[in-house]
Chain A
Amino acid sequence: MSDIIVVEDLVKKFGDLVAVNGVSLKIRKGEVFALLGPNGAGKTTTIHIISTLLKPTSGKVSVAGYDVVRSPDQVRKKIGIVFQDPSLDNQLTGYDNMYIHGRLYGLRGRELHEKIVKLLDLVELKDFTYKKVMYYSGGMRRRLEIARSLLHEPEILILDEPTIGLDPQSRARIWEYIRFLKKSYDITILMTTHYMDEAEELADRVAIMDRGKILAMGTAEELKSMLGHDVIYVTLNNDNGDICHFFNFTKSCRSLGGGKIELVVDNASRALPEVFRVVEVHGLRITEVSYRRPTLNEVFLHLTGRELRDSGESHTTPVLARRRWM
């Protein structure tokens, strides 16, 4: 029972659209697990199925040993969740939002009051305890939601894009809480994000998700080692797909389309002169060149041919939910 969440061959269709297309993953007790992927990858849909809000089209999901379809109430008791879209009652105070949550989970009286005070203190909202949520800033709301999700002491904390739409300072603060929780509580955290630095900073293991599928899974180091030490990107003026055999001295070569080529090498500064020479010998011209130590972004590019940041275009927290229900 070291795997606290087990997802097997999960598929979710909305009409013709396949939002989740055969996802399998195992999340170990006590780890921080991040689902990393661009908009529309199916992260939220996966999270909603795990938290019993959506029914899977097919596949099996169990949380702390309970099947999400057959024993949703058992699952709900085990998890605390912060949704991607806001889910607070803006007309009520921070305290009342916490209080109602506590009552919904069967807490009451002095014990409930003390927990509320303690958690609001933890997320630095003590001074706003009795202020209505409508007067909170975006970052404060997010912190209140995190405090609320911890109130019933869940075994599993689910955070769907915890820092979306926040300024760098607020992001840093939320990262701190997540690190603190990991250190001080015996809690498993499942989070989604489309920021690679967030996944890299916080997660023990990362699953890269795109178009409903998990493309790769492992620690950030493991994922990056797929690419070796350095990655060189060369864009040529000639979009002739068959140029890779020129670069047989590199560890791997892949055409990313549009004349862009990804070369994996041990040491970019040594390899670059040779790359230039080979291109010149074949009468081609380089229009752009760059090299990087691989980050998860390069891993994503390697797996999909697209940049993670390109696909994660500006994305702020919507005031009104985008969807009809969830």
Chain B
Amino acid sequence: MSSSLDALLAMLYRQLKRWWSARSRVIMTVLNPLIWMVFLGLGWGGIFSSQNIPNIPGLSDIPAMAEVIRKAIDSYFKQTFGGVSYVTFMVTGIAVMTAFMGSFISGISVIWDKQFGFLKETLVAPAPRSVIITGRIVGDSIVTTLQSMIIVLLSTVLTSELILTNIPLAMAYVFIASLGFTSLGVVLSLRFSSMEGFQMVVNLLTMPLVFMSGVFYPVTSMPDWMKALTVFNPLTYAVHSVRYWLVGSSTGFNYMNPWTDLAILLGFTTAALSLAVRAFKKATLED
């Protein structure tokens, strides 16, 4: 129905406009991942490279041997990080992490709408509630995808190994994942009426999810119990696919490829979105 489309666009416009009208906050959302990228990326980057390996006493007498060891170490690191330097590896993960965190946080604004009353304005409009909340989620996801893209573009200062022509494809994956994570944020925020409760859950949930997704280190070198959890983390597939497109090689478990990633992400997002719609309908029906 065209009136539903109008309502969807109205909500989308609102989310984008809010983001744009708070430009100073936009800088903040980019600054945080940038700090991770620069310090963690460059800091660890030096360790994961044969350049900085000190001379082993005695080995310098046999230059050929030293060269072989150096090569072996280099190739080990390259293999671990998908054929690229650690900075490149991590930067691609951070791009996804930015979208993930941003999506979750945008769930908070549902609480604010509730508290500051704008919600009522949308509820008396002649548009289905499912459309209202979907418009919101899509708008927020566009915002987080844009933030993620800014990170990718900024990261080209740190690395020249990214396949720039694949950025749009990678961003399509980021967008799909963002829809899912924003939906989850909405579901959570509707469960908690107080901000404190929500903040706590967000912190307790997001950090472990980030660490168990392969943002900072490959999933394949994790302990078995962590690997087992990683498999159920949708973020893993977002990180894997985005890295696949931006770097050109696969750094996950054997069954992972852009198609399985896409299927899993689509499944996750569909489920999360319908949960969000359900939660929203229920929360606004009241008593």
Chain A residues contacting B287 (CB-CB under 8 Å) are 14-15, 54-55
Chain A residues contacting B126 (CB-CB under 8 Å) are 73-74, 76-77, 104-106
Q: Is the CB of A91 within 8 A of B10?
A: no
Q: Which of A67-122 contact B (CB under 8 A)?
A: 73-74, 76-77, 79, 81, 83, 85-93, 96, 99-101, 103-106, 108
B121, B127, B193, most chain A CB atoms within 10 A = B121
Tell yes or no: A324 within 8 A of B by CB: yes
* Cβ contact of B120, chosen from A14, A87, A108, cutoff 8 A: A87
CA of A322 to CA of B256, assembled, Å: 50
A5 to chain B, nearest CB (A): 15
Q: Give the residue name and chain of the B residue nearest to A88 (CB).
A: B118
Q: Which of B125-172 contact A (CB under 8 A)?
A: 125-128
Chain B residues contacting A132 (CB-CB under 8 Å) are 21
Q: Is the CB of A103 within 8 A of B21?
A: no
Chain B residues contacting A76 (CB-CB under 8 Å) are 124-126
Q: A53-B123, A73-B126, A325-B284 are in contact. Are A100 and B116 (CB under 8 A)?
A: no
Q: A321-B117, A325-B114, A326-B286 are in contact. Are A106 and B14 (CB under 8 A)?
A: no
Tell yes or no: B7 within 8 A of A by CB: yes
CA of A15 to CA of B286, assembled, Å: 12
Chain A residues contacting B124 (CB-CB under 8 Å) are 51-53, 76, 79, 81
Chain A residues contacting B125 (CB-CB under 8 Å) are 76, 101, 104-105
- Number of chain A residues whose Cβ lies closer than 8 Å to a Cβ of chain B: 39
Q: Is the interface of B mostly helix, strand, loop or mixed?
A: helix
CA of A88 to CA of B121, assembled, Å: 8
Q: Is the CB of A53 within 8 A of B7?
A: no
Q: Is the interface of A mostly helix, strand, loop or mixed?
A: loop
Tell yes or no: A281 within 8 A of B by CB: no
A115 to chain B, nearest CB (A): 15
Q: Is the CB of B21 within 8 A of A325?
A: no
Q: Is the CB of B115 within 8 A of A87?
A: no
**25 residue pairs from A and B, CB less than 8 Å apart:** A53-B120, A54-B287, A73-B128, A76-B124, A76-B126, A83-B117, A83-B120, A85-B120, A87-B119, A89-B14, A89-B116, A91-B18, A92-B14, A96-B17, A100-B10, A101-B125, A103-B10, A103-B13, A104-B6, A104-B122, A105-B6, A106-B3, A321-B115, A321-B117, A325-B286
Q: Which residues of B contact A (CB under 8 A)?
A: 2-3, 6-7, 9-11, 13-14, 17-18, 21-22, 114-128, 193, 283-287
In the A-B complex, the 7 residue pairs with the closest CB atoms? A103-B10, A104-B125, A87-B117, A76-B126, A87-B121, A77-B126, A104-B10
Q: Which residues of A contact B (CB under 8 A)?
A: 14-15, 51-55, 73-74, 76-77, 79, 81, 83, 85-93, 96, 99-101, 103-106, 108, 132, 148, 320-321, 324-326
